[in-house]
Amino acid sequence: MVQRIGGSRRKTRNIMSVPGNLKGKLSISRLMAEFSVGDSVALRAAPAVHKGVYNRRFHGRTGTVVSVSGNACGVNLNDKGVVKRLIVNRVHLVKVDNGAKNN
């Protein structure tokens, strides 16, 4: 069989990009955001930071923080009835209030 061309960020031109007015350095509040176990978070990638990015299929999903360590957080997601655990850099997480829209 033919080998698949491309890496984990292939076909992400629009999905992992931000509008022009938001480009540039990340805000200090996003870098210093604190999460605790049990927080509800949305996965929203910061394209300026390449480390700790999840697979593109999880972009925009909401999960629960299950572990916190250093710069990363463990997040549990419900993926079509299967609970999956991701280790994501804090920069790519945004806190979500219950009932709030996360996009």
Which amino acid belongs to residue 43? L
pLDDT band with cut points at 50, 70 and 90 for residue 82: very high
pLDDT digit string (tens) for 32-72? 899 999 999 999 998 888 888 898 899 999 999 999 999 99
Q: Show the tokens assigned to 64.
A: 């629960």
Residue 69: strand pairing partners = 72
pTM: 0.84
In order of their start, the domains of the chain are 27-95 (2.30.30.70)
Strand ranges, E, within the chain: 40-43, 62-69, 72-79, 82-89, 93-95
